[in-house]
């Protein structure tokens, strides 16, 4: 098992190195606009542009630029500076990261708390009213775009513009350390909106997987041994059926930590996704580059954790 973990980590390091190389290629070699011109601003003199080019190292050979780029990221975690505020990209991301972590973790908790029980009950009681109603509802949530669902939720339940003033509306986010009560209240609606589609997907996948598993020979053997039905379902059935969900959860966590752009924009949450959106509209390459690398790091780490968890849940994929 230790060899398997080390191999997965090494593959993750290789994947991250490839992402760094591609990011450098996209943002430093191929961009249509000169980064020095973007940072200098409009109507900048050629002398100013030349000075900024030298400051950014753009006048050096491409291999030297790449080495400096990798060295700054790996050794110093230096992602450069914003073209507009000259603030450190690392500090900007650090300031926004707690909001994104709050949104992502809460959404995953709600997703699992809603999707897994619905999927299990629907599989055990298939073709009942609950099964048909829950799967039909899940299909609606899967089909609904996140931004549309967020706007509908604000219209119905926001405390300021909603028809039923239940939850705090957009623009009310406060950090957890400032006021835990307001932090929780301001994120309930974003959590529900962000979790709706994922919970529906999890429920449908788990239902189909569990139905297949419950027809296996080892399930019949467990019942023949006199085990309680609850233990047969949860210990033998769900443990085997849940492995596809583990894979999806890992990808979702990585993507959410990389920035839930639409949800953060609709609910005015100052997270990584919102920062990335603002940087794209301003052609602020260092921030876009930093958020892309951060998202890639989260996804790679999440996949490594998922692979290890998958091997634990399913002995068939463990290395021999």
Over the chain, what is the mean pLDDT? 82
Rounded Cα distance between 144 and 149, Å, is: 6
Predicted confidence (pLDDT) at residue 223 exceeds the cutoff of 90: no
Predicted confidence (pLDDT) at residue 179 exceeds the cutoff of 60: yes
Domain membership flag for residue 237: no
Domain membership flag for residue 89: no
Residue 88's SS3 state is: strand
pLDDT of residue 31: 58
Instruction: Tell me, yes or no, whether 288 and 146 share the same domain.
Output: yes
Rounded Cα distance between 144 and 121, Å, is: 23
Identify the band that residue 230 occupies on the pLDDT scale cut at 50, 70 and 90.
confident
> pLDDT (tens digit, 9 = 90+) per residue, 251-301?
788 777 766 788 888 888 888 888 888 888 877 888 888 888 888 888 888
- Looking at 42, 76, 110, the residue that finishes a domain is 76
Predicted confidence (pLDDT) at residue 33 exceeds the cutoff of 70: no
* Structural domain span for residue 68: 2-76
- For the domain that residue 198 is a member of, what is the CATH number? 1.10.3720
pLDDT of residue 32: 56
10 membership: H or E segment, kind and range = helix 2-24
Instruction: Tell me, yes or no, whether 69 and 187 share the same domain.
Output: no
Q: What's the structural domain count of the chain?
A: 2
- Looking at 76, 110, 142, the residue that finishes a domain is 76
Domain membership flag for residue 218: no
- Cβ atoms of 206 and 240 within 8 Å: the answer is no
Rounded Cα distance between 273 and 251, Å, is: 16
Instruction: Tell me, yes or no, whether 138 and 268 share the same domain.
Output: yes
Please say whether the dihedral angle defined by the alpha carbons of residues 9, 12, 18 and 23, taken in this order, is positive or negative: negative
Instruction: Tell me, yes or no, whether 263 and 186 share the same domain.
Output: yes
pTM equals 0.79
Instruction: Tell me, yes or no, whether 69 and 130 share the same domain.
Output: no
């Amino acid at each position: 098992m230790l060899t398997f973990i080390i191999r997965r980590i090494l593959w993750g390091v290789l994947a991250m190195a490839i992402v760094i190389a591609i990011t450098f290629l996209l943002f430093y070699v191929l961009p249509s606009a000169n980064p020095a011109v973007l940072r200098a601003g409009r109507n900048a003199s050629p002398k100013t542009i030349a000075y900024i080019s030298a400051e950014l190292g753009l006048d050096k050979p491409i291999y030297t630029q790449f080495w400096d780029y990798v060295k700054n990221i790996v050794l110093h975690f230096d992602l450069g500076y914003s073209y507009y505020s000259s603030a450190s990209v690392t500090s900007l991301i650090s300031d926004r990261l707690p909001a994104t972590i709050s949104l992502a973790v809460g959404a995953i908790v709600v997703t699992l708390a809603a999707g897994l029980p619905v999927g299990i009950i629907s599989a055990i009681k298939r073709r009942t009213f609950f099964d048909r109603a829950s799967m039909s509802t899940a299909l609606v949530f899967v089909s609904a775009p996140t931004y549309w669902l967020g706007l509908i939720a604000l219209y119905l339940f926001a405390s300021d513009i909603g028809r039923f003033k239940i939850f705090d509306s957009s623009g009310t986010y406060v950090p957890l350390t400032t006021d835990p009560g307001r932090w929780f209240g301001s994120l309930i609606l974003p959590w529900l909106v962000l979790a709706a589609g994922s919970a529906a997907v999890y429920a449908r996948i788990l239902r189909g997987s569990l139905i297949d598993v419950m027809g296996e020979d080892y399930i019949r053997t467990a019942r023949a041994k006199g085990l309680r039905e609850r233990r047969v379902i949860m210990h033998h059935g769900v443990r085997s059926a849940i492995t596809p969900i583990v894979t999806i959860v890992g990808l979702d966590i990585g993507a959410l930590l990389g920035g839930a752009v639409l949800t953060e924009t609709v609910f005015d949450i100052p997270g990584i996704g919102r920062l990335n959106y603002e940087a794209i509209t301003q052609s602020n390459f260092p921030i876009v580059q930093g958020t892309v690398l951060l998202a890639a790091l989260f996804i790679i780490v999440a996949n490594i954790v998922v692979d290890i968890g998958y091997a634990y849940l399913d002995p068939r994929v463990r290395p021999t």
